[in-house]
Structure 1
Amino acid sequence: MKLFSKEQIYQGDKLTAERQKISSTDLMERAGTQIFNWMHMRMQGAQVPIHIFCGIGNNGGDGLVLARHLILDGYNVKTYVVNCSDKRSKDFLINYDRIKNVTKDWPTLLSCTEDFPEIHQDDIIVDAVFGIGLNRAVDEWVKSLFMHFRSTKAFTLSIDIPSGLSTERVPEDEDSVVWAGYTLSFASPKLIFFLPETAKYTIQWEVLDIGLDQEFLFTTNTEVELIGKHEVLPLYLPREKFSHKGQFGHSLIIGGSYGKIGAVTLASRAALFAGSGLITAYIPKCGYVPLQASFPEAMVITDANEEIITDIKFDIKPTVVGFGIGVGTHSKTISAFETFLKKNKAPLVIDADGINILSKKKILLKLLPEQTILTPHPKELERLIGTWKDDFDKLKKVKAFSKKYTCIVIIKGANTITVFDNKIYVNTTGNPGLSTAGSGDILTGMVTGLISQGYNPLQATIFGVYLHGRSADIAVENFGYQSLIASHVIDYLGAAFIDLFKQPEQPTEVVEKEQEQEEQE
């Protein structure tokens, strides 16, 4: 799914009005009507008090359209205008006049803290104060209003974006933003719904179709894409009946040190479970017996050293190499890695201490093959690119780093983000159960295993991140967040592949209706 920028959404609104020969007021009517339809379908006429707070711009106009439809349908509505400026949009004024024609209870003008209405916990607040165009600090009294919303503990529904939240920066004061229980977003969700510092401002979100021009939606390229099942399914490479293991590549996992052989075992298993035809682990001697005994499907090559890797030599021709899991940062290991990089021609996936080595000796970054994949956790990323001010600054620095070294960077988190050049891919799978030892090793193995069988590095990264999260989502149903361990994620990877082709279950009422139709026929 494309995530449109603020400028692109404005462009889409303009093109829609031009191509469909409608006014901006008509488009606002569509938006407000869709919000009404969404609420009406769920409330079915329930007389819960609904408090709609409208700003004086186009977001407030959407709120006025919603209020008018709710009033006409007999709902218990109270409308307020947050009178925060003398500048009112044309469409707001049109809809302000329209709502006066359907009710004697005209919108209440709010202009100071004394005007705040009484709201109970069981009421509903609709936030239509500010939209995506907010480019200034929120007035103190409006900030107090937003804090009043939170203090009531009433369910809060935001229109398009929680008021006070910018699409391009992290708010300096969290009290100046509405904390929404649900946000109904137009055209596409916003990037801020998925970033660690801004996702907290809406618990859930949903996109409403307001009939924007289809050509615009399909042909406009966006900097950010949201990755779900529909996005990864076309990437899937099916297997022919007469295929054999030689067609699916040979993954080489290089890593491990004394006490950290388990990390290599996990990564190697993940690579094979992801579909690699063959898997070889390159480890120090101390890991030979543990790895061979625990994972018989793997082949093993050992370093001459007992406890660390000091010299990377092998007589195989790997399709792809995964490096760094549990390898340590000993000077001899760094030297061995540098020598390896100078000779290596295979695609690379680098994790953990491999990234720490690159951070220690940044000149090695110039030796990486194009589209090398780096999979840092937050501290490893900081060592690699330096500190950042906020999430937007982090993305900016990662994009610059990716472009400079032509590499793919995975920013791990609740919504893991893949960055390549100027493009951002936001993953939608995964859960807190992945906050466990070894989950990163498994991701490295999965991505390595996907490259080995023919996926290009970017495809393998996007697909691997999705499968990693989806496997955890399936596994967590049996184990819960606290008891989920990395091995479970590997064990459920097959289920994640199968899940790609499962049709979503239909609601019970839909199934019953279809059965009634079949009986009548």
Structure 2
Amino acid sequence: MKILNAKELAEVDENTIKKQNISSWDLMERAAKKAFESMKSYTSSKQQCIHIFAGIGNNGGDGLAIAYFLTQENNNVKVYLVEYADSKSDDNAKNFERLESKTKLEIISVSDENFQIELNPNDFCIDSIFGFGLNRPMPDFVQKLIKEINQSQTFRIAIDVPSGVYLDRIPKEDEEIFNADLTLTFQLPKLPFFLPQVGFNVGKLEIIDIGLDQETIDSIEAKVEYLNQNLASTYVQKRSRFSHKGTFGHALIIGGSRYMLGSVILSASSCMRSGVGKTSVLMPKIGHQNMINHRPEVMLVPHESEDFISEKNLDFEPNAIGIGVGISMESEAETALKFWLENSKKPMVIDADALNLISENESLLQLIPKNSILTPHPGELKRLIGNWSDDFDKIEKIKSFSKKFQLIILAKDSFSICVNGDEVFVNSTGNSGMATAGSGDVLMGLITSLLAQNYEPKSAAVLGMYLHGLAGNLAARVTSEESLVASDLIDYFGLAFSEIKPRTNVKK
């Protein structure tokens, strides 16, 4: 699912109106009706007061239309027209006139900071003041109003975009943003919804299909994609019934040190559960028995280093290598990492301490095979690419880094993003329970497995990111987010794969 900017979204609206031979007001009416239907399950009582704060543009027109639909079902509604400019848009004015002529609602004007509002904890507040076209700070009185609403205990719903959110930059620290419990956005998601600096203002996100012209959407060469199930399923390779273990590749996991052996056990277990034919592990000798006890299917690479990974000439050629988990920052680990980077001819998956060693030694960065997949968490990412001014700047810096070194960067976060040059994939799966030690080790093993199965590096990274989060969601339904641990994710890989495999109808 594409993520478009404000100009592109306006183009889609315009072409929809032309191609469907409807007016802009008809499209507004359709969108408002869909939003009204979606919010019904949240407004549980006719006695609860629903406060609608509508601006004077088209987003405000949506709010006024929603107010009309609510009154038709005898809801208790109060409407506040937030007049931040002198004139209304044409469609806004049409909905305003309908409310005045066909309902008994009093429409309260809000135009300065002297406005006082009384909100009860059981009330609802609907924000339709500013939409995706916001390009400058909101007037002071609007920010004061939003601050008061945010401080209330009401259930808050944003229409399309929470007021105060820009689509192309992060608001300054002193700018208010409507803090929604629920955002009902039209047709396509918006990038800031998934960025840490703004995303918490979105609350629960529902994407409402309002019938915008799909041909126009498809024709726009968007560089940002929202990775949902439909898109993720297109990356899944079919498995032939006439296969053997050699068909699905041989992965090598390199990791661990004396006091960090669990990470490599998690990665190896994850790799084995992700469809690979064979998994070999190079780890410190001290951990060999633990690996045999936990994962007897794994083949251990013999070597003499007791405490650290080491250099090793293999008697086999792995299809993919994952390296870095738990290797430590010691000089022995750095020497071994340099050896594996120099001698690997295929893209690798690089994580954890390997990333930290690389960030301290740029000569190692130059050795990484092209199209390798790096999986940093925020701290590791900052050490790799440097500081960023805001989340949009972070994405641009990741893109520059990816292009400069021809690497794929999977930046782990609340909503992880995968960057391949100018392509950006925003993940839709995952939850707070996955913010736990070992979760990244599981991801590394999963992606290494896919890479060994002959997935293209971008496909392995994108599909692995989605499956990892999906397994976390499935696990959390049973264990809860609070009690989730990394090994739980591996237990739900089977269900995750089953859920996204393309379905085929076979006639009997």
TM-score, with length taken from structure 1? 0.91
Identity %: 40
Aligned: 1:292 with 2:306: no
Is this contact kept in 2: 1:232–1:462, CA < 8 A?
Answer: yes
Cα distance in 2 between the residues matched to 1:43 and 1:485 = 36
Over residues 11-63 of structure 1, what are the superposed CA-to-partner deviations in whole Å (9 max), with x where a residue is unaligned?
10111122223332332222223223334576588243222111111111222
Partner of 1:480: 480
CA shift, 1:4, in A, is 2.0
Is this contact kept in 2: 1:256–1:326, CA < 8 A?
Answer: yes
CA shift, 1:450, in A, is 1.0
- Higher alpha-carbon deviation: 23-32 or 68-77: 68-77
Cα distance in 1 between the residues matched to 2:475 and 2:70 = 43
Indicate how the Cα distance of structure 1 residues 153 and 304 shifts in structure 2: closer, same or farther if over 3 A, else same: same
Over residues 322-381 of structure 1, what are the superposed CA-to-partner deviations in whole Å (9 max), with x where a residue is unaligned?
111111233343233323323321220000111112111113323222210001111111
1:51-200 → structure 2 map (5 Å cutoff): 51-173=51-173, 176-200=176-200
Indicate how the Cα distance of structure 1 residues 69 and 412 shifts in structure 2: closer, same or farther if over 3 A, else same: same
Partner of 2:506: none
Over residues 289-316 of structure 1, what are the superposed CA-to-partner deviations in whole Å (9 max), with x where a residue is unaligned?
3323332211112443322234232121
Cα distance in 1 between the residues matched to 2:475 and 2:66 = 41
The AA in structure 1 aligned to 2:430 is G
CA shift, 1:104, in A, is 4.9
The AA in structure 2 aligned to 1:266 is L
Partner of 2:8: 8
Compute the RMSD of aligned alpha carbons. 2.2
Could you say what secondary structure the match of 1:424 adopts? Answer: strand
Could you say what secondary structure the match of 1:437 adopts? Answer: coil
Could you list the runs of 5+ residues in structure 1 that have no partner in the other structure? Answer: 504-521
Could you say what secondary structure the match of 1:3 adopts? Answer: coil
Indicate how the Cα distance of structure 1 residues 51 and 483 shifts in structure 2: closer, same or farther if over 3 A, else same: closer
Partner of 2:326: 326
Is this contact kept in 1: 2:164–2:175, CA < 8 A?
Answer: no
Is this contact kept in 2: 1:82–1:110, CA < 8 A?
Answer: yes
Over residues 183-205 of structure 1, what are the superposed CA-to-partner deviations in whole Å (9 max), with x where a residue is unaligned?
11112121222221211112112
Cα distance in 1 between the residues matched to 2:502 and 2:200 = 31
Cα distance in 2 between the residues matched to 1:210 and 1:299 = 53
CA shift, 1:73, in A, is 4.2
The AA in structure 2 aligned to 1:340 is W
Could you say what secondary structure the match of 1:167 adopts? Answer: coil
1:32-51 → structure 2 map (5 Å cutoff): 32-40=32-40, 46-51=46-51
Cα distance in 1 between the residues matched to 2:40 and 2:448 = 49
Cα distance in 1 between the residues matched to 2:105 and 2:300 = 78
Over residues 75-108 of structure 1, what are the superposed CA-to-partner deviations in whole Å (9 max), with x where a residue is unaligned?
3222211111225323223333333221354522
Over residues 474-499 of structure 1, what are the superposed CA-to-partner deviations in whole Å (9 max), with x where a residue is unaligned?
22333333432222222222232233
Indicate how the Cα distance of structure 1 residues 262 and 245 shifts in structure 2: closer, same or farther if over 3 A, else same: same
Is this contact kept in 2: 1:319–1:347, CA < 8 A?
Answer: no
Cα distance in 2 between the residues matched to 1:42 and 1:384 = 44
Cα distance in 2 between the residues matched to 1:470 and 1:387 = 30
The AA in structure 2 aligned to 1:134 is L
Is this contact kept in 2: 1:9–1:187, CA < 8 A?
Answer: no
1:111-510 → structure 2 map (5 Å cutoff): 111-173=111-173, 176-500=176-500
Cα distance in 2 between the residues matched to 1:14 and 1:482 = 45
Question: Which is richer in helix?
Answer: 1
- Higher alpha-carbon deviation: 15-24 or 332-341: 332-341
Cα distance in 1 between the residues matched to 2:45 and 2:455 = 52
Could you say what secondary structure the match of 2:197 adopts? Answer: coil
Over residues 419-475 of structure 1, what are the superposed CA-to-partner deviations in whole Å (9 max), with x where a residue is unaligned?
111122122222222222211111100100111112111111111122222222222
Indicate how the Cα distance of structure 1 residues 82 and 437 shifts in structure 2: closer, same or farther if over 3 A, else same: same
Cα distance in 2 between the residues matched to 1:174 and 1:350 = 39
The AA in structure 1 aligned to 2:440 is G
Cα distance in 2 between the residues matched to 1:137 and 1:420 = 33
Could you say what secondary structure the match of 1:77 adopts? Answer: strand
CA shift, 1:390, in A, is 1.9
Is this contact kept in 2: 1:113–1:144, CA < 8 A?
Answer: yes
CA shift, 1:382, in A, is 0.9
Cα distance in 2 between the residues matched to 1:173 and 1:159 = 23
- Higher alpha-carbon deviation: 160-169 or 228-237: 228-237
Is this contact kept in 2: 1:45–1:74, CA < 8 A?
Answer: no
Is this contact kept in 1: 2:137–2:175, CA < 8 A?
Answer: no
Indicate how the Cα distance of structure 1 residues 205 and 104 shifts in structure 2: closer, same or farther if over 3 A, else same: same
Indicate how the Cα distance of structure 1 residues 15 and 324 shifts in structure 2: closer, same or farther if over 3 A, else same: same
Cα distance in 1 between the residues matched to 2:131 and 2:395 = 23
CA shift, 1:266, in A, is 1.4
Is this contact kept in 1: 2:236–2:501, CA < 8 A?
Answer: no
Indicate how the Cα distance of structure 1 residues 290 and 35 shifts in structure 2: closer, same or farther if over 3 A, else same: closer
Indicate how the Cα distance of structure 1 residues 472 and 70 shifts in structure 2: closer, same or farther if over 3 A, else same: closer
The AA in structure 2 aligned to 1:64 is L
Could you list the runs of 5+ residues in structure 2 that have no partner in the other structure? Answer: 504-508
Is this contact kept in 2: 1:286–1:306, CA < 8 A?
Answer: yes
- Higher alpha-carbon deviation: 258-267 or 347-356: 258-267
Over residues 159-217 of structure 1, what are the superposed CA-to-partner deviations in whole Å (9 max), with x where a residue is unaligned?
11111111122222376111112111112121222221211112112122222112112
Cα distance in 2 between the residues matched to 1:40 and 1:433 = 30
CA shift, 1:402, in A, is 0.9
Indicate how the Cα distance of structure 1 residues 210 and 239 shifts in structure 2: closer, same or farther if over 3 A, else same: closer
The AA in structure 2 aligned to 1:138 is M
Number of corresponding residues: 503
Could you say what secondary structure the match of 2:131 adopts? Answer: coil
